[in-house]
Structure 1
Amino acid sequence: MVIKKIPKRMCTGCMEMKPKKELLRIVRTKDGEVSIDFTGKKAGRGAYICKNIDCFEKSVRAKRLSKSLETDISDEIYSKLKDEIINGEG
């Protein structure tokens, strides 16, 4: 029986490698638009964060999402992301 490799990504909050499906993806498109990628398949530069409010706050404080995406992130995106983490299905 072949064991399927599970793709892992690093959370920008806790800096731990976790399975991709457990993380939220934030993507910056070529146009510079930043959005939450629920499918995990949007084209562009991606950064990942745990579905944990502590990881979110660490990432915001250290500005790791901005550094990973190589752009400034608006407060609107941060508030959408926070709402998704708190109220999301996940």
Structure 2
Amino acid sequence: MLRKRKLPMRMCLGCRESKAKRELIRVVRTPEGEIELDFTGKKAGRGAYICPSADCLKKAIKGKGLAKSLESPIPEHIIATLKEQLDKE
């Protein structure tokens, strides 16, 4: 008999929906204090999850959920970079 593997669930900071971890994009604050996107889900650091849409990123930034989760203010140039990378995906 095959066992079903338990899928890790995470909540999107923009739409607040729980989804499978692999459906979401991880935003990471690295130990050096830099903020970047983690498409692999394996980078070291404090992570927060958003849906792969510009709308969810906008909501997460506007509601300050992203800054609260990462325990760090998000600089404007990082927000622009995140938007560009999401548009590529």
Q: Quick check: TM above 0.5?
A: yes
> Deviation string for 1:14-72 (max 9, x for gaps)?
11111111111111122211111121101110001001122111111111110000001
Provide the aligned length of Structure 1 versus Structure 2: 88
Identical-residue share of aligned pairs (%): 51
> What's the CA shift for 1:73?
1.0
3-state DSSP of counterpart to 2:48: strand
CA RMSD for the aligned pairs?
Answer: 1.1
Distance in 1, Cα, partners of 2:87 & 2:31: 29
Please list every run of 5 or more consecutive structure 1 residues that lacks an aligned counterpart in the other structure. none
Please list every run of 5 or more consecutive structure 2 residues that lacks an aligned counterpart in the other structure. none
Distance in 2, Cα, partners of 1:53 & 1:65: 14
Aligned to 2:65: 64
Aligned to 2:88: 87
Runs of 4+ aligned residues of structure 1 deviating over 6 Å after TM superposition are: none
Kindly provide the amino acid, as one letter, of the partner of residue 53 in structure 2: N
